[in-house]
Amino acid sequence: MSGTAGAGRGAAERPILRVLNGEALSPPPAWMMRQAGRYLPEYRAVRAEAGSFLDLCYNPDFATEVTLQPIRRFGFEASILFSDILVVPHALGQDVRFVEGEGPRLDPLAGRPEFERLIEAGDPRIMRHLSPVFETVGRLRAELPAETTLLGFCGAPWTVASYMIGGRGTPDLAPARALAARDPALLDALIDRLVTVSTEYLVRQFEAGADAVQIFESHAGSLPDVPAGETGDALARWSLAPIARMVAGIRARVPGAKIIVFARGSGLDGHARVAEETGADAVGVDWAVDLKALRARLPASVVTQGNLHPETLIAGGEALDAAVDAIRAATAGTPHIFNLGHGITPQTPIAHVERMLARLRG
């Protein structure tokens, strides 16, 4: 089954789709990574009712409600599906659970025996497991305002693989880096499977009603070394080339698909390479990158997104005003989507989000 990106009533006028098509808007449209989350009391109420975090992700009633909450409160120009990058390894048969106050826990994939127990790519059980996510996407498209862009997402293969191997987020991703040194072919095989499954996963999100998708390479700053004697560099082999295969695979099925790639921690050079090597429509920019310097390296037509430090949003006040103004100045006349340089944190005051948007839009 094929699809067409951005189809549906009002799609052509959705501001974020206009930017993803290369139009520079002033003020730029905005959304926030993790905008449906614990800083909102209404989210915390639904989270308590849902039970486990995965129950929240897989229940279309709850997932639709929490996705809509920040749109009702703030009027963001985009709504991003509420889910988690680890639903993909869960669908592959790996045990995934979320421990309150500690985050995700998986049974570590330490070697070939664990890999061989995963479900093969193409097995219909994988997409059946993920069908509640697609139901949520369809319901969101029906309930969102016509002008609001609906974003789907998944984790990039390296980032997801690092959790699968380590069993959790670990300092410097040491378990995944060690596996890459010990058995690089196994890491290649895991990444290949994740490319195939994640490509299908995003295609299904488009078919369900997503206007665009974001691929989160949250761990681009902790890539393993390329094995001795082998060519290429770590960013290309383990991150950008697999993402490029995903982008090509999605567009083969969904002509014109709009795709944002966020390679956190890859530095100024890495962010520039995202635009050059993946085929992405937009480059998500983390808070550590000099946005003005990045824009100077990119063609004027390349779309950027993000860069505001989440801690600046926590601080608020004049520091927040100045940061918003600086981002607008650095991206003036170029296509940009206003966002944070990483996800909003639970301790962020709601009043500061309101101030940020008032400054941006005023």
43 carries a ligand binding annotation: no
Considering the domain boundaries, does residue 181 fall inside one? yes
Considering the domain boundaries, does residue 23 fall inside one? no
Considering the domain boundaries, does residue 22 fall inside one? no
Annotated catalytic residue within 34, 177, 264, 295: 34
Residue 9 scores a pLDDT above 50: no
Q: Does residue 255 share a domain with residue 108?
A: yes
Q: Does residue 251 share a domain with residue 126?
A: yes
> What digits encode the pLDDT tens for the residues 259-301?
999 999 999 999 999 999 999 999 999 999 999 999 999 999 9
Residue 196 scores a pLDDT above 90: yes
Q: What span, in angstroms and rounded, lies between the C-alpha atoms of 256 and 41?
A: 38
Q: Count Cβ atoms within 10 A of the Cβ of residue 347 and give its class: 0-12 exposed, 13-18 middle, 19 or more buried.
A: exposed
Q: Does residue 162 share a domain with residue 124?
A: yes
The answer to whether 177 is a known catalytic residue is: no
DSSP readout, 113-137? Answer: HHHHTSPPTT-HHHHHHTHHHHHHH
The answer to whether 325 is a known catalytic residue is: no
- Please report, for the domain that includes residue 253, its CATH number: 3.20.20.210
Cβ atoms 151, 213 nearer than 8 A: yes
Annotated catalytic residue within 39, 43, 58, 163: 163
Cβ atoms 284, 260 nearer than 8 A: yes
Q: What is the pLDDT of residue 345?
A: 97
214 carries a ligand binding annotation: no
Task: Report the predicted TM-score, pTM, of the whole model to 2 decimal places.
Answer: 0.96
Q: What is the DSSP letter of 248?
A: H
SS (H, E, C) 340-357: ECCCCCCCCCHHHHHHHH
347 carries a ligand binding annotation: no
Range of the structural domain that residue 265 is part of:
80-284
Annotated catalytic residue within 43, 58, 84, 201: 84
* Domain count within the chain: 2
Alpha helices in 144-208 (DSSP H): 157-166, 174-182, 184-208
Q: Does residue 316 share a domain with residue 279?
A: no
201 carries a ligand binding annotation: no
Considering the domain boundaries, does residue 13 fall inside one? no
Q: Does residue 262 share a domain with residue 321?
A: no
Annotated catalytic residue within 38, 251, 253, 359: 38
Q: How far is CA 32 from the centre of its chain?
A: 11
Considering the domain boundaries, does residue 232 fall inside one? yes
37 carries a ligand binding annotation: yes
Considering the domain boundaries, does residue 41 fall inside one? no
The answer to whether 321 is a known catalytic residue is: no
Annotated catalytic residue within 14, 47, 177, 295: 47
For 15, the token pair is: 């501001």
> What digits encode the pLDDT tens for the residues 54-85?
999 999 999 999 999 999 999 999 999 999 99
Domain boundary among 284, 317, 334: 284
Q: What is the pLDDT of residue 73?
A: 98
For 283, the token pair is: 């480059």
Considering the domain boundaries, does residue 51 fall inside one? no
Q: Does residue 179 share a domain with residue 117?
A: yes
